Structure 1
Amino acid sequence: MTPHGGLDYPALTENLRRIAHQAAREVMAVYQQDIEVRHKDDRSPVTDADIRAERVILQELARLAPNIPVIAEEAASEGDFPDVDDVFFLVDPLDGTKEFIHRNGEFTVNIALIVDRIPVIGVVYAPAKKRLFYGAGPGQAFEQNLDPTRDVDQTGAPAPRHIQTRPPPQAGLIAVASRSHRNPETDKFLQQFNVTEFVIAGSSLKFCLVATGEADIYPRLGPTMEWDTAAGHAVLNAAGGSVTKMDGEPLLYGKTETGFKNPLFVARGQST
């Protein structure tokens, strides 16, 4: 992958991993307490973990790359949409807030770099499950077992391992669907495939399960925002998968005309 505008992708990826780890420590500090739930104007839940994690991420990104704009979920909910060009960050500080509230561990910290409408770097960290995923271009997808209580410099942490999607098994596909948003349209869509097993998961973990070969297909036939999907999309791309709209065209980012809303999409492993 050719770096854009002099960006050092490997160094940037390492820094985004570090920042996600820092944010996850804030998330887990709240997770250990009684969780106070508030609601935004759209009635979606928000907690102190969302706010604290986003504050850390924005502060660190401002130090790391002050000239790259950031679209972040909680700031966006307050109407803060900086102008974006061909390079920008997308941040969801706590994807799966409902899973966080229900304490099932299926929530993630998400940071992605978008270049020319494509997610080229993505970090997805599920701290309660100690699973950190990241991708930075074709063949550069990894998973690391990472305890969020470990020092941010990750001294002594297990080494990351390469991950990749798997070819469609002859015995049938594993489909992953949303724990909170599965609907009849999803089930109808999947009837056209030889699906022999369903896995239910929350947050952007669904992309990562396809990226590791633990699942083969993830359709999302409901509303999402760009910050919900960008980091997981980057991981899946790097692992050999794809994310397309229902017409087969690539899912792109920077859709200012829709307010950064995504169309319906399907995430797939190898040639699913």
Structure 2
Amino acid sequence: MRLPQHRQEEKPFLHDKLRDLKSLLDGNKDSDPRGVGKTRVLPWLVLSATLLSLFACVSFVSRRWDSDGEQYGKSDLHLDLTLRNLVSVSIGLSQLAGERIRKVKQSHKEGVEIKGQTNEGVDEPVTVADKVSNSVFINGFKSIFGNDMQLVSEETQPKTEAIIPQLEFVDTFVGGDRILNKQDISIIVDPLDATKEFTEETDVDGSNMLPFVTTLVCIVEKAQPIAGIIYRPFASNEPVIWGIATPHARHVYPNIAKIATGDSAHLIAVSRSHTGDAKDIVRDVISDPSHSYRSLPVGGSGYKSWLVLTGQADAYIHVTKIKIWDLCAGHALLRAAGGDVTDKRGNPLLYKSDQPEFNNGLVAALHRNKIDAIVNKLSS
């Protein structure tokens, strides 16, 4: 599934060069006791060539990146703007951002600030983890695809730093190597979804809420979500999930998409902190004698989309405003698996950088007929 990594181990190479140089000098010392003539010229030629080789190697090493995926110097890695490259870089940046988020949590130095309130009057926190993760994504994409890359993020513009992730290229897919028009492409990022749950950590019932936390990356072409990348940094041994949803290819990796069955088929995910009247709507409007539903309040739009994608909830509804960076990655993944997301009236959602908010709620499911059934009930 993965091509060889970009990261290389240079130290053994340098060590071998130094060892070979020492052997040459030691060997030639005894090769001609007179110390004159051709046997003396050859070692100096070899020495000169070897020193030049070492200089080139040291120059090369100085531009490589460290174990955290960050370069020592200015980025010299630039990739063509293809969907395959965008997804590969998104995966690498998600893993690196996840590492930094975990480090902040382990240090207990979240540095919580309140940046505002939701329409429901709930505080919206921002933490050090949000900021360092945002820096990874914004600087990483710009380092590789250029400063003119259109980026939309929940957080503010970070301080510039050169960041290159450890890249493991995904296998190609139909249309994956097509050169994209940069004017048609935007990248929408939520560097840490479910910040409230990240800061609170445990719910009132004592359950762990860190699994709600996700990083979200969405690739948009002409206002359509064509790729989604979700990573849950506190989910043990879970890989980055990515999906492609273009007219030429629909694919989710790993293949985790499944239709809800059993008890899960009676669950509809709703917001834990931005609920509005969603719980009442699930109970009084969407449920009927033929199929009853219960609301499942959880944190993070990315996590709720993940629940639907993995068959742990039958649908996801939201009845108040929601930001494009909360929804875009999950929307792309659900489309990749054959599902969709609409507003609560069944209208399509378009992702535009100058319109960062959807005002008419959402309905998400893995089957369009499920969305239509819920939309019809909401409209009746």
Please confirm whether the aligned pair reaches a TM-score higher than 0.5, indicating the same fold: yes
Shift of 1:111: 1.1
Kindly provide the amino acid, as one letter, of the partner of residue 39 in structure 1. Answer: I
Question: Aligned in 2, Cα 1:129/1:171: closer, same or farther, shift over 3 Å?
Answer: closer
Question: Aligned in 2, Cα 1:218/1:227: closer, same or farther, shift over 3 Å?
Answer: same
Shift of 1:165: 4.1
Secondary structure of the equivalent of 2:329? helix
Shift of 1:231: 0.9
Q: 1:109-149 deviations in whole A, cap 9, x for unaligned?
A: 1111111111111111111114432111253112xxxxxxx
Question: Who is 1:74 aligned against?
Answer: 155
For residues 148-187 of structure 1, the aligned pairs below 5 Å read 161-166=254-259, 172-187=265-280
Kindly provide the amino acid, as one letter, of the partner of residue 268 in structure 1. Answer: A
Q: 1:202-227 deviations in whole A, cap 9, x for unaligned?
A: 11110111112221110011221111
Kindly provide the amino acid, as one letter, of the partner of residue 50 in structure 1. Answer: D
Question: Who is 1:268 aligned against?
Answer: 365
Q: When the two structures are superposed, what TM-score results if normalisation uses the length of structure 2?
A: 0.58
For 1:171 and 1:205, the matched residues in 2 are separated by: 15
> Could you say which structure has the greater relative contact order, defined with CA pairs below 8 angstroms and 6 or more residues apart?
1
**Contact (CA 8 Å) 2:342, 2:349: kept in 1 or not?**
yes
**Contact (CA 8 Å) 1:225, 1:262: kept in 2 or not?**
yes
1:192 to 286, 305, 315: 286
Aligned-residue RMSD, C-alpha: 2.5
Unaligned runs of 5+ in 1: 1-5, 78-83, 143-160
Unaligned runs of 5+ in 2: 1-79, 118-122, 159-181, 202-208, 371-380
**Contact (CA 8 Å) 1:165, 1:241: kept in 2 or not?**
no
Shift of 1:172: 4.8
Shift of 1:269: 1.7
Shift of 1:255: 5.8
Kindly provide the amino acid, as one letter, of the partner of residue 139 in structure 2. Answer: Q
Q: 1:27-50 deviations in whole A, cap 9, x for unaligned?
A: 111111223211114452110000
For 1:20 and 1:213, the matched residues in 2 are separated by: 23
For 1:197 and 1:44, the matched residues in 2 are separated by: 27
For 1:238 and 1:201, the matched residues in 2 are separated by: 23
2:144 to 64, 68, 71: 64
Secondary structure of the equivalent of 1:16? helix
> What is the percentage of aligned positions where both structures have the same residue?
27
1:46 aligns with 2:142: no
1:17 to 81, 86, 91: 91
Q: Which has the higher strand share?
A: 1
Aligned residues, how many? 241
Question: Aligned in 2, Cα 1:185/1:162: closer, same or farther, shift over 3 Å?
Answer: closer
**Contact (CA 8 Å) 2:260, 2:313: kept in 1 or not?**
no
For 1:48 and 1:245, the matched residues in 2 are separated by: 33
1:140 aligns with 2:251: yes
Secondary structure of the equivalent of 1:127? coil
1:115 to 204, 215, 221: 221
Q: When the two structures are superposed, what TM-score results if normalisation uses the length of structure 1?
A: 0.80
1:129 to 228, 235, 243: 235
